[in-house]
Structure 1
């Protein structure tokens, strides 16, 4: 018993000696280690934080920047709070080696931009708080680093536009959903939103039954609505929203085996729709054995295609199939999607086999006539002549009659 008490005292002494200055460290037998630094005189991140720290809180300090690999030695860190400081910049590699991080809060700082790509170093992150900063834009590529985030607070910033890529992340197509839908909590209120179709559809979809998104506050204010300001989103006039319309170049395509074919469709709508190609079924009109040998799971979303948007509200897409085989045959669907709705058009592709010739028919050779043949006629013999020069001429001429006459006249 005495040894256990002595060991606990030694551990406490070591913990006290390793605690950064102007900070408070605590840990117990059942509690993980936590470090809290909230002294206004702290102007830089502490460098001697214990390596086994699970929760680190840096609040109400004078820290202005988070440098590269700032928490590299804290591989067990799960909670990182950098709230209500004076942070103006965060390096994209600030969170390297934080594989166990679950919660990151940067509320109440002076951030005008956030390094979204830095979240790839925190694969288990679920909570991200950016409330009360100065963020003025939300880039489309942020959607690439938010698939596991279930709590995102962007309230009280200067955001005006919500990218369509984020809406696709929060409201995925049924074909793209893997497993059960995980609900997400979003804080978007207290921003000067430009009331467009994106933000309008977000609020309407979040209010629907079984929505994967829950808004902290449904009353979003349109501070930059066209021609009006200070208008609640529920009262905004959004006449520009238009459900996408899809027009394929052809609805039925027949192409021979081994050839190349291009399938194209055009879509219009507002906001500008995104296009997706889906193969929904295989062609079963012929060649059953070939189809069985090369069977594939359908429907299947195709990821190899090209699409461009020449102007706002218009988008076209093509998919190129080279060296057609029977497995390429079937029905393809061009699906257009925006926040006003979804439309699609089918294109049926049929692959025709090339018939092989069994053999080339031989030409009949002319029959040789004999004396006994009824059509046989005795050839005429040229008149005899004592002119040797004429005999030589007859033997050497074999051209047309005109040439023969000329030869005979020589």
Structure 2
């Protein structure tokens, strides 16, 4: 009898776990040989995210409901979830920790909602996410820190929002230095159209670079419109007069410097571009040689590190130069220094290798003086010494 009760309870618990949320439909699908559980909820009477979706759900669609907010850990029990569609609801806010435990999620769609902000830091909880759809919302700005959480996103749709400018950090992420294009660069699809862009060098470079051969970015629609540029309201970006925009170009005074131990050296680089670029020095690696290899091996993990520019000046618009001064060189100063130039149109950099030569010899022990040759100076208050001195030497 007790066994029957235990089995009955177990079955009821199992049915509870497998139960489909109210006003939703749960079906089993297949992907190859893998069984997938799909849950779809599209009833206007749904006003909150269901909390009892089956834990083995792989695809969850909450569409055309009355849901207005996504609370903290809303999908915590759905660790196997790979596709989450929250399109065409009335969502106005998303908690930064809404996506906790979604380590398998690959696609998140929030199209057609009322979002004026998105918790970009929440992308850390979805390390496998590669598709993010934010089409047709009310986003008016993209914070610079968003670039920290977007490296793995290969499909990003920001179209039909209220965006006006792009931060330079996103340009650096989407368009790495052109010398890297030939390598294993990650391709991205971006939707930026139907936004009231301010026609500046930043957005202009996005469109021009996306049309370059081998570009890492593909725009869904290249016909972007300027809606807030002075005197250019409603003008297509391709028709705007942005001919002065120029990505920086960096020219170092020397690409390789060899200097003796203990000497002083000055590293200089010049940059051109419009708007006038800013310059930053970064030490990216340690130069190893026979004399100080063991000394630098323990420090290489701490690099790169920013270096202060001791002097920087712009003699005219579009030109800037910068120097750093290294005094009393040691083997720790050897390595590769990079001069980085940045403006609204992009970034560029140039390396300078510094090699420090010379060997630090063994220190000599201090010369010992025989005791009989040591003189002691003592102060004598009442001794008959010359007027100009009151010190007496004793042997």
TM-score when scaled to structure 1?
A: 0.71
Deviations 1:196-234 (Å, cap 9, x if unpaired)? 111111111111111110000011011112221111111
One of 105, 114, 121 as aligned partner of 2:118 = 114
Per-residue deviation, 1:254: 8.1
The structure where strand makes up a greater share of residues is: 2
Q: In the alignment, what sits opposite 1:244?
A: 248
One of 323, 348, 355 as aligned partner of 1:342 = 348
Per-residue deviation, 1:181: 1.4
> Quick check: 315-324 or 150-159, which moved more?
315-324
Q: In the alignment, is residue 46 of structure 1 matched against residue 47 of structure 2?
A: no
* Counterparts in 2 of 1:44 and 1:290: CA distance versus 1, 3 Å: same
Q: In the alignment, what sits opposite 1:20?
A: 21
Counting only pairs closer than 5 Å after superposition, residues 3-402 of structure 1 correspond to structure 2 as 14=15, 18-28=19-29, 30-173=34-177, 180-244=184-248, 257=261, 269-271=273-275, 272-273=277-278, 275=280, 277=282, 282=287, 289-290=290-291, 303-306=304-307, 324-326=329-331, 328-329=333-334, 332-338=337-343, 339=345, 342=348, 344=350, 346=352, 348=354, 350=356
Structure 1 gap segments, 5+ residues each: 1-9, 362-396, 400-410
> Quick check: 233-242 or 46-55, which moved more?
233-242
* Counterparts in 2 of 1:28 and 1:15: CA distance versus 1, 3 Å: farther
* Counterparts in 2 of 1:197 and 1:356: CA distance versus 1, 3 Å: same
Deviations 1:49-71 (Å, cap 9, x if unpaired)? 11000000000000000000000
Deviations 1:98-139 (Å, cap 9, x if unpaired)? 000000000000000000000000000000000000000001
CA RMSD of aligned residues (A): 4.4
* Counterparts in 2 of 1:142 and 1:25: CA distance versus 1, 3 Å: same
Per-residue deviation, 1:173: 2.4
Structure 2 gap segments, 5+ residues each: 1-10, 368-383, 387-395
TM-score when scaled to structure 2?
A: 0.73
Per-residue deviation, 1:306: 4.1
CA contact (8 A) 2:75 2:99 kept: yes
Give the number of aligned pairs. Answer: 350
